Every structure is written in C-alpha cells, then in structure tokens.
Amino acid sequence: MNVRLETVGKVAVVILEGRLDFATAEGFQKQLELVLAGIGSVPPAVVIDCAALQYISSAGLRVLLVAAKAAQRARIAFCLCSLTAAVRDVLDVSGFSRIVTVYADRGVALAQVPQG
Amino acid sequence: MSGRHATVPGEVARLPELTRFLQDFWTAERLPAAQASAFEVALEEIFVNSVTHGSRGGTRVRVEVSLAVADGGVTMTVEDDGPQFDPLTLPPPDVDCPLEQRPVGGLGIHLVRRMMDTVSYQRVGAHNRLRMTRRIEP
C-alpha cells in the first residue's frame, strides 16, 4: 500500500496504490494523516484517486470513513475518483458510494470540487 | 470437483498468506480473475472475525480455509476452533444512514452476506464453520 500526494492548485489529490485491507489499513491511516499534515494550509478539497487501488475491505472502508468525517468537520470537500471494478463493488454494497461523492475520473473530480 | 486446504494460526499477520492461497487456487482452476475479489473480501472479513472472536477464549485459534469448485461456482469454508460464535446473528448495519451518523465498523459481515450467494454457519464439534458459495459467471 502506497500513498502519494499531488496538489492541483489548492486541491489535495491523494493517490492510493495497492491493497487497502486489514493488514495495511492502520499504516494507511498514519500515511494519510502525515500527507495531509504536510500540505501546510488547509485545502478546499481532498480528492482520493483510486485508479491504482486494487482492493478494499471493511477495514479500508473504516479508514476512508474516518477521513471523510474529519474532512466534513473541517469543512473540506471530500471525494473519491477512478474506482476499479473490485473497489466499486465493495463501495456500492457497503452503501459508502451513496454517502461519499464518487467521480468517474480525476479530471471530472477536479472540475467539480471547490478550488479555494 | 476439486478442492484445496490451508491452515494458519489465528493471527491477522497471516492474512496475506491466505490471500495468496486463494489467488493461487484461482489461477490453478483458471477462474475469471475479475471474480476473485468478492472471495478475497469474504475471506478477509471472516478470517479477521475468527481471529478477533477466537482470541476472546484466551488461546490462539487455528483457522482452516477450504476452497472447491463445484456446480458452476466456488465454495469457501472457513473453520476455527474458537468459542462458539455465529457472526450471522449480528444485526445488519444501516447502510443508508448519513455520513455524520455512520458508526465506524460493523460492515464486514454485511459485505460477506451481500457479496456471496449463500452464507451459512454451523457449530461442528468444537469448531465454528462458515460456508460460503458464489456462482462464477463464465
């Protein structure tokens, strides 16, 4: 599991690569906090780019849910984009894709989220 | 009909080993790759559940996973020697509840129920046995 950050204007794009399962969820949560703490200023939006996320289980959903709630409290827009079929299935079945905005790809997400 | 078994101590660190076991089975049986992930999710959720509940008995459980291809689908059985516990008795989570009210957790068994065609629990002697099946689309 790997987490990378890119900033597009003021928007934080967090790129997830690998498998978000019980074994990697805790490390991912710490990486995510570190990555977001490193931005310095509070971004208007966080886009979680899942194009290279191959797998997610309930342990991974829990971390995304914690992040989504934290973003909501901080009034930061939070969304996902570019889901693989396996990840989409889990998000649909869990109801997660009905409570968090999911965009088809990064371009669509960046066009929709608040920029500043 | 063909089958395979793997037995590991009930430690969450053994999860990658079980996932590889499932992936190797999938490849050996020439099953469609895109349909493996539902079983990977079910295996993880049930294994983690076995480890979590099993450790409450004070001793580490052993978990045995069996996979078989039969009747146009795959059957997966996960058996542990922990205290009696039927995860299917857990109440289903409210998946329509808004973000701010959403409890963190309680989703694992729900995912298994929704991603498998059948899920059944049996207490067999001193073992908990969960049996799951799902059709494989050709």
Q: Give the whole-angstrom CA distance, residue A12 versus residue A48.
A: 8
pLDDT level of residue A42 (50, 70, 90 thresholds): confident
The number of distinct structural domains making up chain A is 1
Q: CATH number, domain at B43?
A: 3.30.565.10
Q: From the CA of A34, how many Å to the nearest CA of chain B? A: 21
Name every chain A residue with its beta carbon within 8 A of the beta carbon of B105.
58, 62
Q: Who has greater pLDDT, B100 or B35?
A: B35
Q: CATH number, domain at A6?
A: 3.30.750.24
Mean pLDDT score, A16-39: 87
The number of distinct structural domains making up chain B is 1
Query: What are the start-end ranges of the H helices in A1-116?
Result: 25-37, 58-73, 85-94, 96-99, 106-112
A61-107 pLDDT, tens digit each: 989 988 998 898 889 999 999 999 999 999 999 888 888 999 999 99
| Residue B24: count of CB within 10 angstroms of its CB | 13
The whole-chain average pLDDT of chain B stands at: 90
Is residue B125's pLDDT more than 80? Answer: yes
Question: Are A94 and B40 a contacting pair at CB < 8 A?
Answer: no
pLDDT at position A99: 87
Provide long-range contacts, Cβ within 8 A and 24+ apart, for A105-112: A105/A51, A105/A81, A106/A13, A106/A47, A106/A49, A106/A51, A106/A81, A106/A82, A108/A81, A109/A47, A109/A49, A109/A79, A109/A81, A110/A8, A110/A11, A110/A13, A110/A47, A112/A79
Q: From the CA of B62, how many Å to the nearest CA of chain A? A: 18
> Which residues 54-73 in chain B show a CB within 8 A of chain A?
none
pLDDT level of residue A23 (50, 70, 90 thresholds): confident
B1-58 pLDDT, tens digit each: 467 999 999 998 999 999 999 999 999 999 999 999 999 999 999 999 999 888 776 7
Name every chain A residue with its beta carbon within 8 A of the beta carbon of B107.
58, 61-62, 94
Domain range for residue A58? 2-112
Domain range for residue B83? 2-135
Task: Out of A18-32, B98-112, B115-129, pick the least confident.
Answer: B98-112
Q: What is the value of ipTM here, to two decimals?
A: 0.90
Amino acid found at A2: N
Q: Which of B20, B26, B95, B113 to mutate to test the interface with A (most CBs of A within 10 A)?
A: B95
pLDDT at position B107: 83
Question: Are B99 and A57 a contacting pair at CB < 8 A?
Answer: no
Pairing of strands B73-80, A11-20: unpaired
Is residue B132's pLDDT more than 90? Answer: yes
Pairing of strands A45-56, A11-20: parallel
